[in-house]
A and B are shown apart, each in its own frame.
Chain A
């Protein structure tokens, strides 16, 4: 790999670029959001990946799945393989582990990651991912978009980028996850149908998440010193700190105590 390649991002510093190259990054979900992230990480210089997605590229994905082309739909390419191909196209020497399954079926490689991106569909999936990352001391970056429509009003497009740091406020502390939301989601399980997903908010959210990750690893801005909860509003094209984070005054996270790390211990009775 030539240094020429990173000439235009030399402000990250030699050690910053080196840390990026050393970081083992986990990607859970390689759809509209995760595909964008994979591609950008490859360009930034990430070299070590653990990827999970059980799905194959389908025609209905092509409105947003930047890692796939029509031939992948015809061939039924697994999304993890489409992502791997794109990463290796940019970084031929990268190590990409692909798991065409839910991460819960092969959790060990995920636990080994230094940083995990979650690009999953449900609140329940997010809760499980964050819990795993807390247990194994891994920073977790969550992205997602949604579209809400009430009556005759135009739809409201929203999204979030959250950085959940072990020992800091979790997604429950920040009010993004609530028992009520999880309960409502569980109640409508199976009846939800496909939520709206489009390429441009995915791109904004993925870019923002990659920016957070690069800053976290290189400290180039020297200003990222606490949790991130950014709210995206597609209708006016803004990404702003979420009011819940701005007004967050909580202390230690009560949901993930600091001694509950490592493999769970089973006490003998």
Chain B
């Protein structure tokens, strides 16, 4: 399985601009990207992102143990977007340094719990978790109907210039 993620340069820049803004107390910002699937049923599925929804400052919970904990209203809003858009939801955050990023143990423990909620309202969509650094990414994708995630091979930024950001590919 070789899952590729794609988004336009305009969308990528919008995401970066938002996630790199400082928050009054949260160490990291979170947002949701929405995506449609391509090459469904093949060994090379494509996740094409269409839109980004940032989170308002008030949607963060002040938790010294977590870089970015968000409240249930933020998650419900993302679920509503899945319904309204007919698209999958990807939780995303960013590490503002170069090199291959890694989900923290807390991320690994907590973030996958979002997926069943997204799958319940968008069973035909791919959902996932996306972590970007300046030049690499880590992305877990749950294909429709799947209880297990696959690591995305790469995310491509489509625009001027092109960027082929490596993920699980070597």
Contact = CB atoms under 8 A, between A and B. Distances in A.
B39 A226 contact: no
Interface string B37-76: 1111010101010110000000000000000000000000
Interface string B1-38: 01010111110000000000000000000000001111
A98 interface: no
A22 B162 contact: no
Contacts of B9: 167
Contacts of A225: 160
Nearest to A111: B39
B161 interface: yes
A198 interface: no
Contacts of A180: none
Contacts of B10: 167
Contacts of B145: none
Contacts, number: 88
Q: How large is the interface on B (under 10, 10 to 19, 20 to 34, 35 or more residues)?
A: 20 to 34
Main secondary structure of the interface of A (DSSP, over half): loop
Nearest to B125: A262
A215 B161 CA distance: 8
Given A112-B44, A258-B50, A262-B46, A216 B162 contact: yes
B6 to A, nearest CB: 4
A137 B36 contact: no
A108 B163 CA distance: 22
B161 A136 contact: no
Contacts of A112: 2, 4, 39, 44, 46
Nearest to A227: B160
Most A Cβ at <10 Å: residue of B7, B9, B39, B44: B39
B86 interface: yes
B164 interface: yes
Contacts of A258: 8, 50
B116 interface: no
B162 A217 contact: yes
28 contacts: A19-B163, A22-B154, A23-B164, A108-B42, A109-B44, A112-B2, A114-B162, A115-B162, A136-B6, A136-B39, A136-B48, A137-B7, A139-B158, A139-B162, A165-B158, A166-B8, A166-B158, A166-B159, A167-B8, A216-B160, A217-B162, A225-B160, A259-B85, A261-B38, A262-B37, A262-B38, A263-B39, A263-B40
